[in-house]
Amino acid sequence: MVSGRPGHKTLVTLAVIPVLLLIASMAFSMDWPVENGRYNYGFGAFRGRFLPGLELPLDGSPVIAPDDGELIFHVTGSDILGSYPVSGDSLLVLQHNSGLLSIYSGLVPDSLTEYLKSFRKGDILGKSPQKNAMTIAASYMFDNKDRRFINPLILMPPLKDDKTPVLRNIALVGEGQEYMLDSDRNIRQGSYKLVMEATDLSPGAMQSACWEIRILIDGSEKSRVQYDAAWASGGKGYLFGSSSIAESSFFAQDGRISFGPYNFSRGRLVVTIIAMDYAQNKREQSYSLSIF
């Protein structure tokens, strides 16, 4: 996966990136589904499982078409797409000239613009439910060719953002032990997973995942993920185009994200975690450990 600043006008080729984010000849951006780029939870947030899209505000906001497109599917009730649940009181799918699909679930059924078959960028598709509704409204971007959900931040206009990611509840877990790195620096030798909460406090959102997370041990990179895509194969969920990590192994039981395992031998070492959001705000935390 290409590293560096992932701008919304990035040009990519299939030879460089296995996930078809943008066709190499295109340089475009899509509109946010809700005005001012507001959403409650972003791509990669833990919502009982990895969220492969955006949870929209529950305030009756108009939800708009991100780009010109054709209505290819519409139903009220619930359905399943690519083994990821897309549930709610409605499901609407637009196909765009780029080959991407935009998918909307949980919009108020009576608000849907059913009489239109073609939409222009900015046309109203429907409305999100009110806060007291017993449902969730969500928007997804889906690469119909490679059958993968794509992080909308790659395609939408960037938002002004000067907040650094938040890292907390960082621990080494293994050998029947959990060591919280904020307080435990003497660790028994063995094999451990590194677990943590890593969130991006994006503007207009309650919570989102970071764009990139790197794990370094004594300055050497051991793990790296970029929150670019999510997909299903053989009934199992997979994450991150360049890493293809099984969703079931990425989350600990309590919802913290998990890296490793790493084998620690006796001696001293430094574990460094670097988290970067889409706007390139960076958080770096290091822990000097004594392994006995």
pLDDT > 60? residue 207: yes
- Choose which CATH entry (2.40.30.10, 3.30.70.920, 3.40.50.300, 2.60.40.10) describes domain 166-291: 2.60.40.10
CA distances from 147 to 18, 37, 153 (A): 12, 25, 18
What homologous superfamily does CATH list for 35-154? Glucose Permease (Domain IIA) (2.70.70.10)
Q: What are phi and psi for residue 92, nearest 5 degrees?
A: -135, 135
**Averaging pLDDT over each range in 18-22, 234-238, 287-291, which range is the top one?**
287-291
Please identify which residue in the block is written with the tokens 């972003």: 42
Q: Residue 78 and residue 88: Cα distance in Å, rounded?
A: 6
With bands split at pLDDT 50, 70 and 90, how would you rate the model's confidence at 107? very high
Q: How high is the pLDDT of residue 138?
A: 94
What value does the mean pLDDT of the chain take? 85
Residue whose structure tokens are 């079931």: 248
pLDDT digits (tens, 9 = 90+) for 5-17: 344 333 333 333 4
Q: What is the pLDDT of residue 242?
A: 84
Q: What is the pLDDT of residue 238?
A: 96
The rounded distance, in Å, linking the Cα atoms of 285 and 289 is 13
Between 156-160, 161-165, 189-193, the lowest mean confidence (pLDDT) is in 156-160
Give the tens place of pLDDT for each residue, 170-205: 999 998 899 999 999 999 999 999 999 999 987 777
CA dihedral 239, 240, 245, 247 (to 10 degrees): -20
Sorted by where each begins, the domain ranges of the chain are 35-154, 166-291
